Chains A and B, each alone.
Chain A
Amino acid sequence: MRYRYRLATLGLAGVAAWLLPYGLDSYAIHVVDVMLLFAILAVGLGLAMGIAGQINLAQVAFFGVGAYATAILTTRAGLGFWTAAALAMVATAVVGLVVGIPALRMQSHYLGIVTLGLALAFTNWVTNAQIAGGAEGITAIPAPRFPGVDLSSEYLFYYLELILFAAALAFGLFVVHTPLGRRMRAMRDDALAAGAVGAEVPMLRMTAFLVASLYGGVAGVLYAGLIRYVAPDTFSIGNMFLLLAMVIIGGRQNLVGCVVGAVGLVVVRELLIDYPTYAQVAYGSVVVLTVVFAPTGLAGLPSRIRAVLRRRAPVTPALGAFEPYPAATAGVEPSVLTVDGVSKQFRGLRALSNVSLSVAAGEIRGIVGPNGSGKTTLFNIVSGFYRPSVGRVLLDGRVISGARPYRLAQAGIARTFQNLRLFRDLTVADNILVALDRTRTTWTWRYLFWPIGIVRHDRSLRAEADRVLGRFGLADFAGIRPGALSYGIQRRVEVARAMARAPRLLLLDEPAAGLNGEEVRQLGEIVRSIRASGVTVVIIEHNMGLVMSLCDRITVLAGGAVIADGTPAEVVTAPQVIEAYLGDSAMSHDVPITVEVT
């Protein structure tokens, strides 16, 4: 029913857009043509900034590269419009990838300043270069030719733009709701955790810039064909900030919101055309108000209003029971982990010194030790977040230390985090879906040439996600964001997300922290079932009852070194362990030590 309603709205919007030119005079149609260009640019910027979280202040330069390349190739090289347009798209894509390179090394404000600097460099170049016509720009760009349609008419050009705009928006929305967009959103929320579930973060960042530049290129080519004149002013920083205002006011995480923002600001700009500076004061102030009071922009308003209206206490869904994994089937081999003489130095601090341990296939290994003894550092080395200063880590006999986290995730290592790193703006189901997707980033060529394959893949992922959610008793929480859930449930979501990777080695970092007694018992049950399904488990935990009952062997770390290694019964009686936990044994020798093994 809801689907049909949406389809009807879409149809109506299409018909209205198609009939729009009949009611407009020649100036109004020009404004609408420009509006569509801004809308395409805004969707591209929304994808890079709102979806992938890459601060991209060079979008206006991508726009400029597309327009200038078309202008130069048609007027200077005498190419036909469409040939020039195709080459301009290639040029923009190349520029997009070059501008994206800094994103591999820096994020947030650093990326903002670098992209802004590169955008300034572009305007500086076109203002000075002979080939770009200097400050006067390039005039007399030939109108695009299309058999049977006179595209020098702004009315007919509108239809060309409308079709491309609809395609661009549809493609953007398709990306957002399918695996690529999900990964980008995961990367935006938490790049480290995204790497830990196998998302190739560097490739994704480049992809985000590539996509943004393609949108800029399309808009640039259309601009050259529409105005048939390019000058540096159009691609100034002022227009970049206008574009940014559109995306922020409309709602950066929602592409339709970006379009609404673009349409709204172009309309406001036209209404205030005699008072451009007052218009500038107005949209600048609205940007400030938006970030402070409505960070999700106009697009986020409906859901906020709904939340206010629906003040009634929502029905609290219940956590279901865990459904144990089937016992290991032949062919699934749990991994063997070997840590060989690993040391890790942080400037003056030696966090780990010469740590060696080996975990047998199918074992549950506990790692305990006082706070600051290097347990999490060890996990960070095994999962690829840190490189060891000395020594190496082997998985099934292959050296893995030094590899990137996403490579290790793809090799079968999954982990959870001490302080919970769920993707906060993704639903629980999306959190699982990101982890389930085992395709590589290069697989995304299908977005351009084989979208049906994407749809099928997405459908199978969703079916699999339902199974994972059901197994962990999380089915009722599928559509909820993690922030709204209790701590214990968030912990379980994180375990479910790690298991969605179908790993062969699972690293759990203090999974029982903050859980109540019953939840700890359930956790024990879950971990045993995971082991029985053919996964090696390494667990850092302070809850001694859980560690003693669960683990086959325990490694004790203190001050960055292994001080004991053995079965639970051996470890609790080792004098060096007692000393590490209780202080000097000479001071406590008269205290009878009894540790209950449950």
Chain B
Amino acid sequence: MQVTIQTFIGGMSLGAIYALVAMGFSLVYRTMGLVNFAHGNVVMVGAYLASTFFLSTRLPFALAMVVAIGATGVVGVVIERALRPLENKDFDLMLIGTIGFGIVLEALAIIIWGATGHAVPSPVPVPPLDILGVRVRTYDLMVLGIAAAATAALMLFLQRTKRGAAMQAVAMDHEAATAVGIHVGRSNAIAFVIGAALAALAGGLVGPMLYVNPSMGGSLGIKGFAGAVLGGFGSIPGAIIGGLVIGVLDSFAAGHFQGYSELVLFVVFTVIIMIRPTGIFGEKTVNRA
């Protein structure tokens, strides 16, 4: 029982990371219809930047994160500018274009930081808390807290600010949004920057939990995307729930199936998505003839 609860909490904190990644996917997708397959690699870049600033320049962890988030946002802008000609035109080509960016980012990371990667010490060196006999890592709680705060901030931005409302409008109908004077290109760029910032946050937070290496983007990106799809692609609450579910699933699969955990995770994901392609919160799409 204790092991189950411990696995569950570990899965939740991993899931919070996936949820941040999934929110980035969903935000970009709903605003501009683009599935950013390079998103996982953006997470990897964020992880490297945060850990590099944290380890080599001895910045406090929080400050290192802020710098990393800013720098990663620039990467987001570059991707968005490059692929802008394809926006709202060809989904499949855009998808492949972002895969191209992913390939480039991974290679650049190898050139800059080397192929081996490095471990990041936990920024909160407190021993695990003991709550009713269940040992909980303090860092896990911190991750959950930061992820919840970031989610709340994003929701407030989308629902309470003019710029956020404009982005919601672009998500619903980009042509109508243009007609009422919203700059769709700028709105898309902002979505991409926020997506990249969320990715950097996820990357910075995941650094002390996993080993930071150039190929970490692949599995993080795919699991985050799986979370977004599971929750209902394009839905922000869906992304959070989906990310948490994938995290918990991942954690239990790792416990029960050891090396085969990825196999089990992806097969289970495929089956769920086959049964309900629109995810938990997804709108049922109607074919228009």
Task: Report which A residues bind B (CB closer than 8 A).
Answer: 53, 55, 101-102, 105-106, 108-110, 112-114, 116-118, 120-121, 124-125, 127-128, 192, 237, 241, 244-245, 248, 277-278, 280-281, 283-288, 290-292, 295, 346, 376, 379-380, 383, 385, 417-418, 421, 509
A281 in contact with B108 given A112-B37, A237-B218 (CB within 8 Å): yes
* Docked-complex contact A277 and B111, CB < 8 angstroms: yes
Using Cβ atoms and an 8 Å threshold, which residues of chain A touch B83? 288, 291-292
A121 in contact with B100 given A106-B273, A113-B229 (CB within 8 Å): no
* Docked-complex contact B270 and A102, CB < 8 angstroms: yes
Cα distance, A45 to B176, chains bound together (Å): 38
* Docked-complex contact B107 and A278, CB < 8 angstroms: yes
* Docked-complex contact A110 and B103, CB < 8 angstroms: no
A128 in contact with B277 given A118-B270, A283-B103 (CB within 8 Å): no
Cα distance, A359 to B187, chains bound together (Å): 51
* Docked-complex contact B104 and A285, CB < 8 angstroms: yes
A291 in contact with B86 given A241-B103, A346-B286 (CB within 8 Å): yes
A292 in contact with B219 given A112-B95, A379-B289 (CB within 8 Å): no
Using Cβ atoms and an 8 Å threshold, which residues of chain B touch A241? 99, 102-103
Q: Among A105, A113, A127, A284, point to the contact of B100 (Cβ < 8 A).
A: A284
Between B95, B97, B103, B233, the greatest number of chain A beta carbons within 10 A of the residue's beta carbon is seen for: B103
Q: How many residues of B contact A (CB 8 A)?
A: 49
Using Cβ atoms and an 8 Å threshold, which residues of chain B touch A281? 104, 107-108, 111
* Docked-complex contact A417 and B289, CB < 8 angstroms: yes
* Docked-complex contact A124 and B260, CB < 8 angstroms: yes
Cα distance, A275 to B258, chains bound together (Å): 35
Does residue B179 face the partner (Cβ distance < 8 Å to A)?
no
A110 in contact with B229 given A128-B260, A292-B97 (CB within 8 Å): yes
Cα distance, A116 to B110, chains bound together (Å): 23
Q: Among B93, B94, B101, B263, point to the contact of A284 (Cβ < 8 A).
A: B101
Cα distance, A120 to B259, chains bound together (Å): 13
* Docked-complex contact A124 and B222, CB < 8 angstroms: no
* Docked-complex contact B92 and A55, CB < 8 angstroms: yes
Cα distance, A421 to B233, chains bound together (Å): 27
Residue on A nearest B112 in the bound complex, by CB: A277
Q: How many A-B residue pairs have CB under 8 A?
A: 138
A295 in contact with B93 given A112-B37, A113-B226, A121-B263 (CB within 8 Å): yes
Cα distance, A288 to B273, chains bound together (Å): 29
- Encode B61-104 as 1/0 by CB contact (under 8 A) with A: 00000000000000000000011011000111111110111111
Q: How far is the CB of B162 from chain A (nearest CB, A)?
A: 29
Q: How far is the CB of B89 from chain A (nearest CB, A)?
A: 10
10 shortest interchain CB distances as A-B pairs: A287-B100, A284-B103, A280-B107, A284-B104, A117-B266, A128-B259, A109-B35, A291-B97, A288-B100, A124-B262
Q: Among A55, A117, A285, point to the contact of B226 (Cβ < 8 A).
A: A117
Residue on A nearest B225 in the bound complex, by CB: A113
Using Cβ atoms and an 8 Å threshold, which residues of chain B touch A417? 289
Cα distance, A121 to B266, chains bound together (Å): 6
Q: How far is the CB of A341 from chain B (nearest CB, A)?
A: 22
Q: A127-B259, A290-B100, A421-B289 are in contact. List 20 more A-B contacts (CB 8 A).
A: A55-B92, A110-B229, A113-B222, A118-B266, A120-B262, A121-B263, A121-B266, A124-B263, A245-B100, A277-B110, A280-B106, A281-B108, A284-B102, A291-B83, A291-B97, A291-B100, A292-B86, A292-B97, A385-B287, A417-B289
Does residue B281 face the partner (Cβ distance < 8 Å to A)?
no
Using Cβ atoms and an 8 Å threshold, which residues of chain B touch A295? 90, 93
A291 in contact with B106 given A118-B270, A284-B100 (CB within 8 Å): no
Task: Report which B residues bind A (CB closer than 8 A).
Answer: 35, 37, 82-83, 85-86, 90-97, 99-104, 106-108, 110-111, 115, 218-219, 222, 225-226, 229, 233, 258-263, 266-267, 269-270, 273-274, 277, 286-287, 289
Cα distance, A185 to B83, chains bound together (Å): 26
Residue on B nearest A293 in the bound complex, by CB: B85
Cα distance, A383 to B289, chains bound together (Å): 10
Using Cβ atoms and an 8 Å threshold, which residues of chain B touch A277? 107, 110-111, 115
Using Cβ atoms and an 8 Å threshold, which residues of chain B touch A421? 289
Q: How far is the CB of B264 from chain A (nearest CB, A)?
A: 8
A120 in contact with B277 given A281-B108, A284-B104 (CB within 8 Å): no
A-side binding surface: helix, strand, loop or mixed? helix
* Docked-complex contact A192 and B103, CB < 8 angstroms: no
Residue on B nearest A188 in the bound complex, by CB: B92
Using Cβ atoms and an 8 Å threshold, which residues of chain A touch B106? 280
Using Cβ atoms and an 8 Å threshold, which residues of chain B touch A118? 266-267, 270
Using Cβ atoms and an 8 Å threshold, which residues of chain A touch B100? 245, 248, 284-288, 290-291
Q: How far is the CB of B260 from chain A (nearest CB, A)?
A: 6
Residue on B nearest A418 in the bound complex, by CB: B289
Residue on A nearest B261 in the bound complex, by CB: A124
* Docked-complex contact A287 and B95, CB < 8 angstroms: no
* Docked-complex contact B101 and A114, CB < 8 angstroms: no
Q: How far is the CB of A495 from chain B (nearest CB, A)?
A: 16
Using Cβ atoms and an 8 Å threshold, which residues of chain B touch A418? 289
* Docked-complex contact A292 and B260, CB < 8 angstroms: no
Cα distance, A462 to B235, chains bound together (Å): 48
Give 9 pairs: A residue, B residue, CB < 8 Å, sorted on A. A121-B262, A125-B260, A128-B259, A128-B260, A278-B111, A280-B110, A287-B96, A291-B96, A379-B289
Q: How far is the CB of A415 from chain B (nearest CB, A)?
A: 8
Using Cβ atoms and an 8 Å threshold, which residues of chain B touch A280? 103-104, 106-107, 110
Cα distance, A379 to B288, chains bound together (Å): 12
* Docked-complex contact A292 and B82, CB < 8 angstroms: yes
Q: How far is the CB of A246 from chain B (nearest CB, A)?
A: 12
Using Cβ atoms and an 8 Å threshold, which residues of chain B touch A286? 100
Cα distance, A109 to B100, chains bound together (Å): 15
Using Cβ atoms and an 8 Å threshold, which residues of chain B touch A110? 229, 233, 273, 277
Cα distance, A376 to B102, chains bound together (Å): 43
Cα distance, A102 to B272, chains bound together (Å): 11
Using Cβ atoms and an 8 Å threshold, which residues of chain B touch A290? 100
Residue on B nearest A280 in the bound complex, by CB: B107
